[in-house]
Amino acid sequence: MAANAKPVSINDLFVDARHLAPGVRDLPNGERQGMRTEQPGFPTTIKEIADNQPLYGEKAGITARNFQDLMDALKRVAEFDEVLPSARKLLEVLEESRAYDMDQIQRMVSSIASSVEGRAAAYKDDELLARYEQTRAYRSAAGFKAARTRLRNQEPATPEAPEAE
């Protein structure tokens, strides 16, 4: 574990959302675009609708079925809201753990490439270099990419503007 890593509670590694299955939807990419979201004043609006439903709902054209559908959807949203923080934490922990292990793997591959080059030089063994050619090239790829990025990010020399006469 990294020196600055926080211990992970077993609760951070478990999210049971099976009870949400009937309301879960996996939308195609881009389908959320254009969907309406909660706006300021939403809780007050829902309270007004709920308070007025018994006496004025039918008169306003809000059938008992419409009102129940609204209440059911609100309940599902509340259940999603209950699970989302734990699910987000689990996702964060999984991504960070993967990143940590991938960093370790990349460092090991780099060390292996260096070891191969050192051994090949010590034993004057060109076959060893050839057998690990891809590993050595891979190890150097990050450095080459960094060099290309530095070169691309250098500001081009701008010609000085001619002085006005």
- In a domain, residue 13? The reply is no
Structure tokens at 82: 């209950």
Q: What is the pLDDT of residues 38-53, one digit of tens each?
A: 999 999 999 999 999 9
Number of separate domains in the chain: 1
Residue 33 lies in a domain: no
Distance of CA 155 to the CA centre of its chain: 32
107 occurs within a structural domain: yes
In a domain, 29, yes or no: no
pTM: 0.70
Q: Which of 11-20, 55-64, 137-146 has the highest mean pLDDT?
A: 55-64
Residue 90 within a domain: yes
Determine the structural domain holding residue 141 and report its residue range: 42-153
